Chain A
Amino acid sequence: KQEVTQIPAALSVPEGENLVLNCSFTDSAIYNLQWFRQDPGKGLTSLLLIQSSQREQTSGRLNASLDKSSGRSTLYIAASQPGDSATYLCAVGGFQKLVFGTGTRLLVSP
């Protein structure tokens, strides 16, 4: 059974810092890995999707990497802003199934 873990569980940084969120998974037989953000009481917004054959994806200040053999992914956020405050979830994709990680709650202070 796939298990997905995210470290740290919570992170508080001042505005402008670069930061890294970590995601690890136990079964490397995946089709893709996705990163989402979730604001309190809201739905999820897709940030990046990395296919299993890819090593990384970039969108604006976000960069996600994937090392399938070691079961790890990182989300790098450059020059963090207060609007980045949210919970960040990674999700490992099987066929029509996503298994979500435990999430990292990020707070960026002005």
Chain B
Amino acid sequence: DTEVTQTPKHLVMGMTNKKSLKCEQHMGHRAMYWYKQKAKKPPELMFVYSYEKLSINESVPSRFSPECPNSSLLNLHLHALQPEDSALYLCASSQPGLNEKLFFGSGTQLSVL
């Protein structure tokens, strides 16, 4: 199984809502990532978890809260988002290391109204 599964595929939320994005992989990878991609722009790194511990936070606003409950799951909790947060949110996984390929999920397309 070389898949990274993200749910939901699409999400529409209001600025006062609380929602969560989920990501799951069963490749035994111990590094998991959240990226944000605006339309026609490259992905930008948000968070990295390594061995279930947060290792990188790219100065992301606190309205985005990541969680890694176990080695297979990664969540992104959303609260009080702004319309400019509308984007494709991509999850990825890899083995920790210097030269490991990243495997990406198909993403959650988020719209904030």
A residues whose Cβ falls under 8 Å from a Cβ of B: 4, 31-32, 34, 36, 41-46, 49, 51, 89, 93, 95-98, 100-103
Docked complex Cα distance between A51 and B103 (Å): 17
| Contact, CB under 8 Å: B99 / A44 | no
A97 touching B107, Cβ below 8 Å: no
Instruction: Tally the A-B contacts, defined by beta carbons under 8 Å.
Output: 56
Knowing A42-B107, A43-B107, A96-B31, the reply to whether A102 touches B99 (Cβ < 8 A) is no
Knowing A34-B101, A93-B99, A95-B98 touch, does A44 contact B43 (C-beta < 8 A)? yes
We find that the number of chain B residues with CB closer than 8 angstroms to chain A is 26
Nearest CB on B from A86, distance (A): 13
- Report which of A49, A97, A103 forms a contact with B42, defined as CB distance below 8 A: A103
Q: Which residues of B contact A (CB under 8 A)?
A: 4, 6, 31, 41-45, 48, 50, 55-56, 88, 90, 92, 96, 98-99, 101-107, 109
Q: Can you show 30 pairs from A to B with CB atoms below 8 A apart?
A: A4-B42, A31-B99, A32-B98, A34-B101, A36-B104, A41-B88, A43-B4, A43-B6, A44-B43, A44-B92, A44-B104, A46-B101, A46-B102, A46-B103, A46-B104, A49-B99, A49-B101, A51-B99, A89-B42, A93-B99, A95-B98, A96-B31, A96-B48, A96-B50, A96-B55, A96-B56, A97-B45, A100-B44, A102-B42, A103-B42
